[in-house]
């Protein structure tokens, strides 16, 4: 049987961008029939027409379904989508498709065929290409990378690129231990994963900045630092590889 792969797109008030992105992703996946692909639109608390648009897309495209959460939080949406999935490989990407889709098969292959537990797109790894990113965001990203690598001796460099995949085993073991439901979710998952001995593959990608990004840099940076301090001084939990918290 082909490896099953579920791609989650977490969204909040994205009624305009969602149709184009989902159709583009769906068309792209059609070129890789060796995998059993599914797309999940994880709406977390939208107040516009995003849920209705997602329902229309699910009727139009058989591989698409909607997961609706009333509470906001990208991490919360990903946790519920991944823990509720039955797919062998569970991915996610940002709705703006800032990371080029051509790197998605490599990320899936790292888990399905190469024995990695987690695969992440990286804008900081050697060979990556970043286009149009403001200097302030670039400095913030590199500073954050230096901070968590110093605090936790991590091998990965880019924790916050919205382009990741996990195995079913890694999801079951790690996600129940992740406390953050917002933007720090990614970093916490990766730190716990490495601390627990899960293998992480960092893949250099081409990433094009979205000038309409709604990420609030200062607020996000403060929350990220708080999360790092919580893990550093509160203790980093360890997951076991049988899918249960250790």
Mean pLDDT across 194-221: 88
> Does any domain span residue 89?
yes
Residues 6+ apart with CB under 8 A from 200: 116, 117, 118, 119, 120, 155, 156, 190, 193, 194
> Does any domain span residue 20?
yes
The Cα-based distances of 78 to 6, 100, 163 in angstroms read: 12, 20, 12
Count of domains forming the chain: 1
- Of the pLDDT bands very low, low, confident and very high (cuts 50, 70, 90), residue 243 is low
- Of the pLDDT bands very low, low, confident and very high (cuts 50, 70, 90), residue 128 is very high
* Average model confidence (pLDDT) across the chain: 95
> Does any domain span residue 239?
no
> Does any domain span residue 246?
no
For the beta carbon of residue 153, count every other beta carbon within 10 angstroms: 9
- Of the pLDDT bands very low, low, confident and very high (cuts 50, 70, 90), residue 214 is low
- Of the pLDDT bands very low, low, confident and very high (cuts 50, 70, 90), residue 218 is confident
**pLDDT at res. 158:** 97
Helix, strand and coil percent figures for the chain, each rounded to 5: 40, 20, 35
Distance CA 41, CA 11 (A): 7
- Of the pLDDT bands very low, low, confident and very high (cuts 50, 70, 90), residue 103 is very high
Distance CA 149, CA 5 (A): 30
Does 213 score more than 70 pLDDT? Answer: no
Instruction: Find the domain containing 216 and state its range.
Output: 4-234
Q: DSSP letter string over 86-123?
A: --SEEEEE-TT--B-GGGHHHHHHHHHTT--SEEEEES
**pLDDT at res. 217:** 76
Does 245 score more than 60 pLDDT? Answer: no
Distance CA 160, CA 120 (A): 9
Distance CA 6, CA 113 (A): 16
Is the separation of the CB atoms in 174 and 188 below 8 Å?
A: no
Q: What is the CATH number of the domain that holds 68?
A: 3.90.550.10
Instruction: Provide the whole-model pTM.
Output: 0.94
Distance CA 117, CA 119 (A): 7
186 belongs to the catalytic site: yes
Q: Which of 43, 94, 180, 186 is catalytic?
A: 186
> Does any domain span residue 205?
yes
User: pLDDT tens across 132-163, in order?
Assistant: 999 988 999 999 999 999 999 999 999 999 99
> Does any domain span residue 241?
no
User: pLDDT tens across 56-77, in order?
Assistant: 999 999 999 999 999 999 999 9
Mean pLDDT across 81-99: 97
Cα Rg, the chain, nearest whole Å = 17
């Amino acid at each position: 049987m082909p490896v099953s792969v579920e791609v989650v797109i977490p969204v909040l008030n994205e009624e305009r961008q969602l149709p184009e992105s989902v159709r583009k992703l769906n068309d792209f996946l059609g070129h890789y029939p060796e995998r059993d692909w599914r797309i999940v639109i994880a709406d977390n608390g939208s107040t516009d027409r995003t849920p209705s648009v997602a329902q229309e897309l699910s009727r139009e495209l058989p591989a698409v379904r909607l997961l609706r959460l009333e509470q906001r939080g990208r991490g919360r949406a990903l946790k519920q989508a991944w823990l509720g999935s039955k797919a062998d490989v569970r991915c996610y990407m940002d709705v703006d498709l800032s990371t080029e889709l051509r790197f998605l098969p490599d990320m899936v292959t790292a888990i399905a065929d190469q024995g990695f537990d987690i695969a992440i797109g990286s804008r900081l790894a050697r060979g990556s290409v970043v286009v149009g990113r403001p200097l302030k965001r670039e400095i913030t990203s590199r500073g954050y990378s230096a901070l968590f690598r110093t605090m936790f001796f991590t091998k990965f460099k880019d924790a916050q690129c919205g382009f990741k995949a996990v195995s079913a085993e890694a999801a079951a073991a790690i996600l129940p231990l992740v406390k953050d439901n917002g933007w720090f979710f990614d970093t916490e998952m990766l730190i716990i994963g490495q601390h627990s001995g899960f293998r992480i593959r960092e893949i250099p990608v081409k990433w094009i900045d979205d000038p309409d990004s709604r990420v609030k840099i200062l607020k996000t940076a403060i929350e990220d630092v708080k999360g790092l301090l919580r893990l550093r001084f509160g203790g980093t939990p360890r997951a076991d590889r049988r899918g249960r918290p250790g």
